């Protein structure tokens, strides 16, 4: 049985932070108090958590984190809280953790051959407690909710954020209120939200409409918002890259490739890299490649076209996790791409599902949005942007079982209405219940 842990009962004193933090506006630079609930600056833009790196520099964090590797003790058994000095240096009693992180880094196997990259590793964030990378941000988000004294938390979601939030809220004894686009999220994710007891509102409209609505509701009803617009969520998600680098003995890869939807994850990875570099824990910066689906590609359009950011109306893709036209964190993500000398690329529906067929056939498996990492890496390799012998790490953001419909429809030639051919289908074979029929099916 999975181990579910909440720290001992929280104290009633105002929370203390072991190291000072600030919130800072990404657009106008204004500072805000981190212990007050706030997601935006007065100028309307979003906020970064800023750590006091000078205070952290004296700690030799790399040595501290190495000593914690493999720890069985709460909260250092978590692949997020192991790095807590650079995430949220809060007292242990407040921490809500499910031992998240500690996800494996696999050789990409057949998916690497398909992408044409010799040294291709896949970090499988689908191995988190609720089967997506969201748990890393959520353990910190729900802990921050507790730090702020919140009783209720809310999010808009294409599915994984809501599954994660519902689980962590259940552990924390909080009320979870979920806004999902009606009929447009994968069943694995909807099942989790319902099962963990989240109050699930199916909003008539798409994710972008639900995101707008949840912000209004949280402001008016004093509910703590746990989308990645919440800067503490981003802090937790940085642990993907901390753990990845620790797995590589702190030798940065040449590339990190991630799918981009609401653009929180790419923002977090870039922020984490910047902080590690500024602390002297890594010397070189990996290049970040953010991959969007063609039908939900506002960052790519901006990147390729050089114009201002513009939302995409009626975003559409089979990778429902990233069916987002108006990503909240575009400015942070773009800053991250620029700071790492990175790129933004887009991939077609066919490219996503074919890449997925190879991620799955490699025995690793991931949901469609995750496979943008492999489809994008292949495309960047073909363009010569990624070199054949570069060390590339693709982030697989969610588990294969999140979206079984996409799998079965691909392998049974049922995606024609979306213009997707089942190029690498592994079709099920109906047979009579006889030995001869089995022999025929096995090709003699």
Binding segment (CB under 6 A) for ligand F0G, from list 47-55, 72-80, 102-110, 155-163:
155-163
Within 97-136, the residues that bind ligand F0G by CB under 6 A are 132, 134
Q: Taking the CB of residue 24, how many other CB atoms lie within 10 A of it?
A: 17
What is the number of helices (H) and of strands (E) in the chain?
16, 15
Query: Is residue 349 involved in binding ligand F0G (CB under 6 A)?
Result: no
Distance (Å, whole) CA 406 – CA 324? 18
Which tokens in the block code for residue 376?
């994008």
Q: Cis link prior to 75 (omega < 30° from 0)?
A: yes
Q: How far is CA 113 from CA 127, 144, 361, in A?
A: 23, 42, 12
103 versus 161: smaller Cβ distance to ligand F0G: 161
Query: Is residue 293 involved in binding ligand F0G (CB under 6 A)?
Result: no
Beta bridge partners of 107: 121
Specify burial of residue 280 (Cβ count, 10 A radius: 0-12, 13-18, 19+).
exposed
| 3-state SS record for 16-34 | CECCCEEEEECCCCCEECC
Q: To the nearest whole angstrom, how small is the minimum distance from the Cβ of residue 444 to ligand F0G?
A: 42
Alpha helices (H) in 306-371, listed in sequence order: 330-339, 349-361
Binding segment (CB under 6 A) for ligand F0G, from list 158-166, 248-256, 297-305, 412-420:
158-166
Identify the CA nearest to 259 among candidates 291, 300, 303, 302. 291
Pick from 103, 158, 192, 340 the residue near ligand F0G by CB under 6 A. Answer: 158
Identify the CA nearest to 161 among candidates 310, 299, 265. 265
Query: Is residue 188 involved in binding ligand F0G (CB under 6 A)?
Result: no
Count of residues interacting with ligand F0G (CB under 6 A): 23
Helix (H) or strand (E) holding 394: strand 391-396
Query: Is residue 288 involved in binding ligand F0G (CB under 6 A)?
Result: no
Give the per-residue contact string, 356-395, with ligand F0G (x = CB under 6 A; - = no).
-----------x-xx-------------------------
Pick from 265, 317, 340, 409 the residue near ligand F0G by CB under 6 A. Answer: 265
260 versus 298: smaller Cβ distance to ligand F0G: 260
Exposure string for 333-349, b = 16+ CB within 10 A, e = fewer: bbbbbeebebbbbbbbb
159 versus 231: smaller Cβ distance to ligand F0G: 159
68 versus 184: smaller Cβ distance to ligand F0G: 184
Give the per-residue contact string, 208-247, with ligand F0G (x = CB under 6 A; - = no).
--------------------x-------------------
Pick from 130, 192, 215, 262 the residue near ligand F0G by CB under 6 A. Answer: 262
82 versus 136: smaller Cβ distance to ligand F0G: 136
Q: Taking a C-beta distance cutoff of 8 angstroms, is the pair 100, 135 a contact?
A: yes
Pick from 322, 334, 406, 420 the residue near ligand F0G by CB under 6 A. Answer: 322
Which tokens in the block code for residue 402?
């999140």
Pick from 397, 407, 409, 420 the residue near ligand F0G by CB under 6 A. Answer: 397
97 versus 237: smaller Cβ distance to ligand F0G: 237
Q: How far is CA 362 from CA 107, 109, 132, in A?
A: 9, 6, 19
103 versus 158: smaller Cβ distance to ligand F0G: 158
Pick from 78, 97, 143, 160 the residue near ligand F0G by CB under 6 A. Answer: 160
Which tokens in the block code for residue 98?
């499910």
Q: Under the rule (CB under 6 A), what is the footprint of ligand F0G?
A: 132, 134, 157-161, 228, 259-266, 321-322, 367, 369-370, 397-398
């Amino acid at each position: 049985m999975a181990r579910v842990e909440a720290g001992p009962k929280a104290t009633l004193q105002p929370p203390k932070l072991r190291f000072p933090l600030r919130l800072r506006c990404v657009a106008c630079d204004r500072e805000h108090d981190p212990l007050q609930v706030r997601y935006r600056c007065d100028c309307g833009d979003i906020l970064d958590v800023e750590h006091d790196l000078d205070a952290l520099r004296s700690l030799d964090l790399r040595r501290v984190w190495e000593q914690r590797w493999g720890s069985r003790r709460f909260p250092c058994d978590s692949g997020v809280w192991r790095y807590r000095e650079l995430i949220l240096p809060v007292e242990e009693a407040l921490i809500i953790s499910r031992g998240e992180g500690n996800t494996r880094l696999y050789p990409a196997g057949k998916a690497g051959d398909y992408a044409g990259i010799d040294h291709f590793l896949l970090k499988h964030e689908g191995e988190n407690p609720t089967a997506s990378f969201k748990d890393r941000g959520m353990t910190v988000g729900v802990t921050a909710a507790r730090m702020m004294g919140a009783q209720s938390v809310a999010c808009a979601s294409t599915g994984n954020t809501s599954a994660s939030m519902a689980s962590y809220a259940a552990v924390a004894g909080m009320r979870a209120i979920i806004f999902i686009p009606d009929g447009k999220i994968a069943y694995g994710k909807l099942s989790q939200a319902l099962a963990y007891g989240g109050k699930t509102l199916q909003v008539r409209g798409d994710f972008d409409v639900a995101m707008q609505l949840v912000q209004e509701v949280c402001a008016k009803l004093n509910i703590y918002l746990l989308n990645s617009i919440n800067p503490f969520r981003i802090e937790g998600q940085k642990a993907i890259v901390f753990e990845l680098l620790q797995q590589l003995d702190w030798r940065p890869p040449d590339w990190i490739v991630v799918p981009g939807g609401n653009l929180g994850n790419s923002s977090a990875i870039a922020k984490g890299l910047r902080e590690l570099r500024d602390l002297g824990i890594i010397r070189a910066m990996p290049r970040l490649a953010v991959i969007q689906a063609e039908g939900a590609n506002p960052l790519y359009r901006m990147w390729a076209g050089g114009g201002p950011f513009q939302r995409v109306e009626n975003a559409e893709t089979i990778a429902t996790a990233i069916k987002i036209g108006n990503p909240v964190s575009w400015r942070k993500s773009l800053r991250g791409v620029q700071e790492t000398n990175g790129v933004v690329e887009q991939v077609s529906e066919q490219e996503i599902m074919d890449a997925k067929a190879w991620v799955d056939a490699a025995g690793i498996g991931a949901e469609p949005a995750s496979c943008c990492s492999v489809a994008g890496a292949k495309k960047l390799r073909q363009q010569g942007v990624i070199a054949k012998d570069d060390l590339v790490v693709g982030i697989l953001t969610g588990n294969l079982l999140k979206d079984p419909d996409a799998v079965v429809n691909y392998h049974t030639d049922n995606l024609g209405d979306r213009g997707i051919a089942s190029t690498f289908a592994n079709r099920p074979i109906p047979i009579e219940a006889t030995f001869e029929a089995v022999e025929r099916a096995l090709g003699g």
